[in-house]
Structure 1
Amino acid sequence: MTMPSRSVLSRWAPLAISAGLAAGAAVVLRHVSPYAANSPLPGCPLYALTGIYCPGCGSTRCLYSLVHLDWAGAMAMNPLLVISLPFLLLMLLNNAGVRVRALDPLMRVLANPMVWLVVLVGYAVMRNLPWYPFSLLAPGVA
């Protein structure tokens, strides 16, 4: 029996680790509600300290809703996370060597850290604005 080469392991490890973490999170979120009064799931420390929504605020409740197939609830908690999940999966697959040539231009954009920085900072700013339609980006607004 031969061991896989180091490059094969390094290519597939992020995808395998992400899949394992996602499966574990799905099991936990299937049985533990972040909406419960004494939920063991943590809240956002930035929001607790400042009252400002970060780009990740509502992510636990968003993922809980996704695990329970509540798309509207997920979008109400963190629409950026719902929209980003397919792109994150594409990035993991691309890193593992699974590439679709037609998606190469998209992958070049997704691989640019500046794009993510602008999106995340812009989202954080917009979801803290108190005016419609930006107020819809705050967690829990339907």
Structure 2
Amino acid sequence: MSALPARWLQALPTLLLALGGLVAVAVLLHVDPNAADSPLPGCPLTWMTGLLCPGCGSTRALHALVHGDLGHAMAMNPLAVLLSPVLVLMALNAAGWQPPALAGLWPRLAAPLPWLVLLVGYWIARNLPWWPFTWLAPG
């Protein structure tokens, strides 16, 4: 009987992650971030500076994904859409799910320099005011 609480404690991060994901999907199913009266907050960086951060449009992109609209999701934040499967895998890894088949993947995904280059490069590119970079802006 004492082994059961230890297993529950070990599974707690995964359960909390799954619960958080379900809550996020439920919210995105019922709340439209595109609506003028949406309770979901906008990007504070864009509000203060007018610049688009790498995450700008990601809530609207996830809303579109939850509703099955891949085209609209890509129009809102292509990087968030393309990285969604990778971010889900990383979250599951952090929660303790570490299948042996993916063991070689985790060190590469944990390296901070490629993420820094990707995010800063995307941040700069989506704020450039000429084609083809303008299609990186939400809209």
Judged with a 3 Å threshold, the aligned counterparts in structure 2 of structure 1 residues 23 and 126 are, in CA distance, closer, same or farther, namely same
Describe the shift of the 1:121–1:13 C-alpha distance in structure 2 as closer, same or farther (beyond 3 A). Answer: farther
Question: Which whole-Å CA distance do the structure 2 matches of 1:44 and 1:105 have between them?
Answer: 35
Q: Per-residue deviation at 1:29?
A: 1.2
Gaps of 5+ in 1: none
Aligned to 1:23, what secondary structure does the other structure show?
helix
- Are 1:30 and 1:64, in contact at CA under 8 Å, matched by a contact in 2? yes
What's the TM-score once normalised by structure 2's chain length?
0.86
Instruction: Output the CA distance in 2 between the equivalents of 1:13 and 1:133.
Output: 45
Deviation at 1:124, TM superposition (A): 0.6
* Structure 2: stretches of 5+ with no match in the other structure: none
CA distance in 1, matches of 2:113, 2:9: 28
Query: Percent identity at matched positions?
Result: 54
1:118 shift after superposition: 1.6
- 1:16 matched to 2:15: yes
Contact 1:52 1:128 in 2 (8 A): yes
Over the residues paired in the alignment, what is the CA RMSD in angstroms?
1.9
SS of structure 2 residue aligned to 1:85: helix
* Residue in 1 that maps onto 2:118: 119
List, as ranges, runs of 4+ consecutive aligned residues in structure 1 with deviation greater than 6 Å: none
* 3-state SS, counterpart of residue 75 of structure 2: helix
Q: Write the distance in 2 (CA, Å) between the matches of 1:53 and 1:63.
A: 17
Is it true that 1:64 corresponds to 2:63 in the alignment? Answer: yes
Contact residue 93 and residue 99 of structure 1 kept, 8 A: no
Corresponding position of 1:35 = 34
Structure 1 residues 13 and 121, CA, compared in 2 at 3 Å: closer, same or farther? Answer: farther
Q: Report SS of the residue matched to 1:120.
A: helix
Letter in 2 for 1:53: L
Distance apart, 1:18 and its partner CA: 2.4
How do 1:19-98 and structure 2 match up within 5 A? 19-95=18-94, 96-98=96-98
Corresponding position of 1:99: 99
Instruction: Give the aligned residue type for 1:66.
Output: L
Note the alpha carbon deviations across 1:92-130, whole angstroms, 9 max, x for none. Answer: 3334143243x4443221111222122111111111011
Note the alpha carbon deviations across 1:23-57, whole angstroms, 9 max, x for none. Answer: 11111111111111211111000001111000110
